[in-house]
Structure 1
Amino acid sequence: MEILIQHLRRQLDQKSIDHVNHLKTLGKAVVPVSWENVHFLKSTNQLKAIKTIILNRNSSNDDFVFFFNRAASILISEALDLVEYIPGTELKKTIVTPTNCTLDMGDTFFPGQEVIAVSLVRSGDCFIRSLRRIIPAAKIGKLLIQTDSRTGEPKLHTEKLPSLEAKEGAKASKVLLFDSQTISGAAAIMAIKVLLDHNVQQDQIVLVTYTSTETSIRKIFNAFPKIHLVVACVGERSHESTLISDPDADSNLDSDWWMASRFIDSKYFGTS
């Protein structure tokens, strides 16, 4: 019996090692990644000022929360542009304005999809307050994914999701997956796998994040090329700003990025 237990442990350990190695290879530039589904926020002076406050270690907690909420609202609004809207001409619907005028059907648009939010605890929870202001009735699910300290493999600990399948006769729901920082991409990849297991199509998933490393973007899109990503800023390496050119170079370590450690959720919830 003891020999059998040891054998099973070795097999599980090897499986974890293989999984982690597979995740690492996804970030290497072996297969070109199409960036057409990566939606960057337009770099405006307002967003640059917000970024400065968010990244300033001397910013007060109140300022940090206030300005991150502003950034989150902009990111969510950008993500909502990916939701399908149906013109009034197709639905044969119009509206009456407060001044009792009937608006032309060509000027009206109506939501064509339900929007469901899924938060990666607790990083994605930083978006919930802004989401509630924009879509008060939005259904929200939770996924708790943590890295095993022994193997480095992401593990799903908690799954609490609303019904993700479209009602009969309705279009598939658009799922917004929230993660304030995408560093290695492992948690996001596992979260997307969970959504796919619930019959959500790749092209109906929108990953919304404030910061992301280029490595994590490559990993995610090498695994799931049809999803969408909405991101405010992509971190550059401290010693280079070019795209990954050598897949085997030691400089491909995730720790090389300026946002290699999570800080947004800690400062947002006042635990840093």
Structure 2
Amino acid sequence: MTDNVFDFKAQPRANSASDSGGSEDGGEGDSDQVTPLSVCTDLPNNLSPNPRTPKSPKVASCLKKRHRAPGSHKPEGTRVLHTHGRRTLYTAGRPPWYNKEGQLKNAFVIGLCGGSASGKTTVARKIIEYLDVPWVSLLSMDSFYKVLNEEQHKKAVANEYDFDHPDAFDFDLVISTLKRLKEGKSVNVPIYNFATHSREKQMKTIYGANVVIFEGIMAFANPELLKVMDMKVFVDTDSDICLARRLRRDIAERGRDPQGVLKQYMKFVKPSFEHYIEPYMQSADIIVPKGGENDVAVNLIVLHVHNQLQARGFKLRNKQAQASHNGQPMPDTLHILEKTAQINGIHSFIRDKSTSRDEFIFYSKRLMRLLFEHALSMLPFKDAVVETPQGIFYDGRKTSVKRIVGVSILRAGETMEQALCEVCKDVSIGKILIQTNMDTGEPELHYIRLPKDIKDEYIFLLDATVATGAAAMMAIRVLLDHDVPEEKIFLCSLLMAASGVQTVAYAFPKVKIVTTAVDKDVNDKFHILPGIGNFGDRYFGTDFAE
């Protein structure tokens, strides 16, 4: 039994760009750096090795209860994302990860390095569990083994291929993927099959990480990777324990025979650890002995990450609602339908509080079709000559756009999907669920379903009304994170507030804003004045007011 809870061991610190833990606003500073240390866990019996961080508020009651993910200790507190093909569900909303200018705050990247079967994945899962915050992504280096040629594949089957050498990994793909995750972008990650020693055809999509945990035996072996990491953790476990774990894992999970595992360990794994992994222990900010059993070290990591995340939060909606746009001209990207007697008449119907639900839906759909016809006229066109049934040629025009994707901001934006499909043939539809957190007043992202290869298409972003522009900004940011060019996004809304127009145009000056009317004010409940009321409640016949 030791008298000290923490055994601090001074180690040389690499003087590289990866040492900076500073925020964008504060710059790089010594106060944000982590002192390298080794954490021991020989604690007195009366001390708890597992102090928990305060729990986040419970998810809104309207969300369905999710199954708990591996490593989670309380189902009701689970905040892990689940990805199924192109559908991504989240158990807790993601608050804004950008400022009012729409600029991103980079994700916090934790690098976990250590020998094979040292407990890196266990440490990563415990960090996720103890963090208890939404939107944490785990990226494993095991996904980035190179594709083997025929000769290499034969060696792999005979346990003669060195999977523990740096040359076995596709570092270019690892670096580009981790950088994109840090920048908040969507990435497609290979799925490696250890039984067949090959990559699967299907890939896994990861998007929306506030914290990225990157683990692998060669996580510290490349200087470019070290620069991306905000915190570097080395998992140090006894070699006999690692061997026992590897035997159990490779036999049970990867279909290997014991002799082959032992042969591979002695010929490749152990020498590789001594030459390529252990020397990089000096690059670590924190060394974790005993792997996943070391709750003290995990909680130390979690404490630092929580402090970093607190400095990265944004409060947008109140700032947007309070922003003064008096005297500022409407942006050139704003396109309002001409206020004809027809448009004015339809607005009279849908703004009238005494209008029945059936009439409200009927006139809303009429207005939606007119809105989309106007938006379609703004797409690029090219000359086209066609022959009429009378055999006469006609000089006409055709759109040069191959496909249009409609992305609705749930729930009010979903009401516009049918009208878009009625005026635009073969349109694809995506959905983004953004809800207001009743405690913070901020928009939060809960759900995404986007068509494949959306980055190549023109996007009609649908929301029935836009008040402060907070939800629209978040949806646009999601599209940009999926590599959609800003100039290909059309924000289509029946009614907008002037403040919402200015907010969106200020943050994203290339996005085209198309609406049928702009009202001047927004009240303290973020409702447009004179407005239209709660569009979703009037359309669906619901009322959530207490």
Contact 1:26 1:220 (8 Å CA) reproduced: no
- 8 A Cα contact 2:464 2:493, kept in partner: yes
Equivalent pairs counted in the alignment come to 245
Residue in 2 aligned with 1:36?
332
CA contact (8 A) 2:351 2:531 kept: no
Distance 1:108 1:51 in 2: 33
3-state SS, counterpart of residue 144 of structure 1: strand
Deviation at 1:175, TM superposition (A): 0.6
* CA distance in 2: counterparts of 1:263 and 1:65, whole angstroms: 13
SS of 2:425's equivalent in the other structure is coil
Question: Counterparts of 2:315 and 2:434 in 1: how far apart (Å)?
Answer: 15
Moved over 6 A (4+): none
Structure 1 residue runs without a partner (length 5+) = 89-93, 167-171, 239-251
The equivalent of 1:245 in structure 2 is none
Instruction: Among all aligned residue pairs of Structure 1 and Structure 2, give the percentage whose two residues are the same amino acid.
Output: 27
Measure how far apart 1:184 and its partner are. Answer: 1.7
TM-score (norm 1): 0.79
The residue type paired with residue 133 of structure 1 is E
Structure 2: unaligned runs, 5 residues or longer: 1-49, 56-302
Specify the alignment match of 1:132 in structure 2: 421
1:193-272 maps to which residues of 2 (within 5 A)? Answer: 193-237=477-521, 253=524, 255=526, 257-258=528-529, 263-272=534-543
Q: Which residue of 2 aligns with 1:162?
A: 451
In structure 1, what residue type is equivalent to 2:479? Answer: L
Against the structure 1 CA distance between its residues 28 and 185, is the aligned structure 2 distance closer, same or farther, given a 3 Å change threshold? same
Indicate how the Cα distance of structure 1 residues 190 and 33 shifts in structure 2: closer, same or farther if over 3 A, else same.
Answer: farther
- Pair 1:45–1:33, CA change in 2 (3 A): closer
DSSP 3-state at the match of 1:271: coil
Structure 1 CA distance, aligned partners of 2:331 and 2:499? 13
Q: Is the 8 A contact 1:26 1:222 kept in 2?
A: no
The structure with the greater share of residues assigned to helix is 1
CA separation in 1, counterparts of 2:521 and 2:330? 21
SS in 2 for 1:19: coil
Rounded to whole Å, the distance in 1 between the matches of 2:460 and 2:332 is 18
Partner of residue 433 from structure 2, selected from 144, 147, 150:
144
Q: Return the structure number with greater relative CO, CA threshold 8 A, min gap 6.
A: 1
Are 2:317 and 2:441, in contact at CA under 8 Å, matched by a contact in 1? no
Task: Give the conservation status (yes or no) of the 8 Å contact 1:96–1:102.
Answer: yes
Cα offset for 1:58?
A: 1.2
For residue 100 of structure 1, the aligned residue among 391, 396, 406 is 391
Is 1:51 the counterpart of 2:347? The answer is: yes
Whether contact under 8 Å (2:321, 2:468) holds in the other structure is no
Alpha-carbon distance change, 165 to 140 in structure 1, aligned in 2, over 3 angstroms? closer
- Separation of aligned partners in 1, 2:316 and 2:389: 58
Alpha-carbon distance, 1:12 to partner:
4.7
Counterpart-to-counterpart distance in 2, 1:182 and 1:236 = 12
Residue equivalent to 2:362: 66
Would you say 1:118 and 2:407 are equivalent positions?
A: yes
TM-score normalised according to structure 2 size: 0.41
Q: Is the 8 A contact 1:33 1:222 kept in 2?
A: no
Aligned alpha-carbon RMSD (Å): 2.9
Q: Quote the residue 1:2 is aligned against.
A: 51
**Bigger Rg over Cα:** 2
Instruction: Say whether the 8 Å CA contact 1:123–1:264 is kept in structure 2.
Output: yes
Deviations along 1:210-268, one digit per CA (max 9) or x if unpaired, are: 11111111211111111110111111239xxxxxxxxxxxxx85647425785212211
